[in-house]
Amino acid sequence: MSESQLLKVRREKLDKLRELGVNPYGGKFETTHVPGVLRANFEEEKTVRVAGRIVALRDMGKSQFFDIADLDGKIQCFLNQKAVGEETFEVFKQLDIGDWIGIEGETFITRMGEPTVKAVSITVLSKSLRPLPDKWHGVTDPQIRYRQRYLDLISNERSREVFKLRSQMVAAMRAFLQERGFLEVETPMLQDVPGGAAAQPFQTHHNALGMDLYLRIAPELFLKRLLVGGFTKVFELNRNFRNEGISRRHNPEFTMLEAYWAYADFEQMADLVEEMICSLAETFCGGLLIEHKNEEGEVTRTINLSRPWKRTPYVDLVRGAGGDDFFYLTPEGRRERCAELGVEVSPEMEDYEVVQQVFEKLVEEKTFDPCFVTHVPKELVPLAKQNPDNEAVVDVYELIINGVEISPGYSELNDPLVQRERLEHQAGEETQKIDEDFLLALEYGMPPAGGIGVGIDRLIMMLTGAESIRDVVLFPQLRRKEE
Partner RNA sequence: GGACGGGUAGCUCAGUCGGUAGAGCAGUUGGCUUUUAACCAAUUGGUCCUGGGUUCGAGUCCCAGCCCGUCCA
Report, in Å, the least distance between residue 298 CB and RNA.
Answer: 18
Residues in 371-430 that interact with RNA by CB under 7 A = none
What is the biggest distance separating any 2 CA atoms in the chain, rounded to whole angstroms? 90
Q: Please choose, out of 130-138, 174-182, 228-236, 371-379, the segment that lies near RNA by the rule CB under 7 A.
A: 130-138
3-state secondary structure of 345: coil
State which residue, 81 or 312, has the beta carbon closest to RNA. 81
| Residues paired with residue 122 on neighbouring β-strands, in sequence order | 103
Among positions 26, 73, 142, 323, the unique one binding RNA when judged by CB under 7 A: 142
Which residue lies nearer to RNA by CB, 43 or 482?
Answer: 482
Of residues 6 and 228, the one with the C-beta less far from RNA: 6
Which of 29, 108, 202, 352 is in the footprint of RNA by CB under 7 A? Answer: 108
- Integer angstrom CA distances of residue 359 from 66, 363, 431: 56, 5, 20
Out of 35, 138, 219, 451, name the contact with RNA by CB under 7 A.
Answer: 138
Contact between 478 and RNA by CB under 7 A: the answer reads yes
Give the integer Cα–Cα distance in Å for 241 and 246. Answer: 12
- Rank residues 28 and 481 by Cβ distance to RNA and give the closer one: 481
Q: Note the helical H segments in 128-265.
A: 142-147, 149-155, 157-179, 220-229
Smallest gap from Cβ 43 to RNA, in A, equals 16
Is residue 113 within the footprint of RNA (CB under 7 A)?
A: yes
351 sits in the region (left: phi over 0; alpha: psi -120 to 50; else beta) called: alpha
Other residues' Cβ atoms within 10 Å of the Cβ of residue 311: 16
Near RNA in 319-348, by CB under 7 A: 344, 346
What CA–CA distances, in Å, run from 9 to 12, 13, 130, 148, 444?
A: 5, 6, 10, 23, 71
What is the closest distance, in whole angstroms, from the C-beta atom of residue 233 to RNA in the complex? 37
CA–CA separation, 432 and 95 (whole Å) = 59
d(Cα 297, Cα 126) in Å, to the nearest integer? 36
CB-nearer residue toward RNA: 42 or 284: 42
- Across 230-370, the runs of DSSP E, i.e. the strands, are 233-241, 253-262, 289-293, 299-304, 310-313
Residue 474 found at the interface with RNA (CB under 7 A): no
Q: Given the complex with RNA, which of 57 and 185 has the nearer CB atom?
A: 57
483 contributes a contact to RNA by CB under 7 A: no
Rounded CA-CA distance 285/463 in Å is 7
Q: Under the criterion CB under 7 A, does residue 468 sit at the interface with RNA?
A: yes
What is the SS3 assignment for 118?
A: strand
Indicate the helix (H) or strand (E) that contains 357.
Answer: helix 351-358
Nearest to RNA of 60, 209 (CB atom)? 60
Q: Which residues contact 442 (CB under 8 A, 6 or more apart)?
A: 224, 228, 414, 415, 416, 419
Cα 456 to Cα 173: distance, rounded to the nearest angstrom: 10
Task: Return the residues of window 21-80 that contact RNA according to CB under 7 A.
Answer: 56-63, 65, 67, 76, 78, 80
Q: With respect to RNA, which residue has the nearer C-beta, 248 or 307?
A: 248
Is 97 among the residues that bind RNA (CB under 7 A)? Answer: yes
Query: Which backbone phi and psi does 114 adopt, to 5 degrees?
Result: -95, 125
- Please select the residue that binds RNA; options are 120, 129, 144, 170, rule is CB under 7 A: 144
* Residue 244 binds RNA (CB under 7 A): no
Least distance from C-beta 20 to RNA, angstroms?
15
Other Cβ atoms less than 10 A from the Cβ of 411: the count is 23
Least Å distance, CB 364 to RNA, is 12
Residues 301, 139: Cα–Cα separation, whole Å: 25
- Beta carbon of residue 440, minimum distance to RNA (angstroms, whole number): 38
Q: Tell me the C-alpha distance between 466 and 483, whole Å.
A: 31
Q: How many residues bind RNA (CB under 7 A)?
A: 57
In whole angstroms, how close is the CB of 260 to RNA at the nearest point?
Answer: 33
At its nearest, how many Å lie between RNA and the CB of residue 1?
3
Q: Which of residues 345-364 bind RNA (CB under 7 A)?
A: 346
Among 19, 86, 391, 482, binds RNA (CB under 7 A): 482
> Quick one: 18 or 62, whose CB is closer to RNA?
62
Residues that bind RNA (CB under 7 A): 1-3, 5-6, 9, 13, 56-63, 65, 67, 76, 78, 80-82, 96-97, 108, 110-114, 116, 118, 131-144, 245, 247-248, 344, 346, 467-468, 470, 478-479, 482
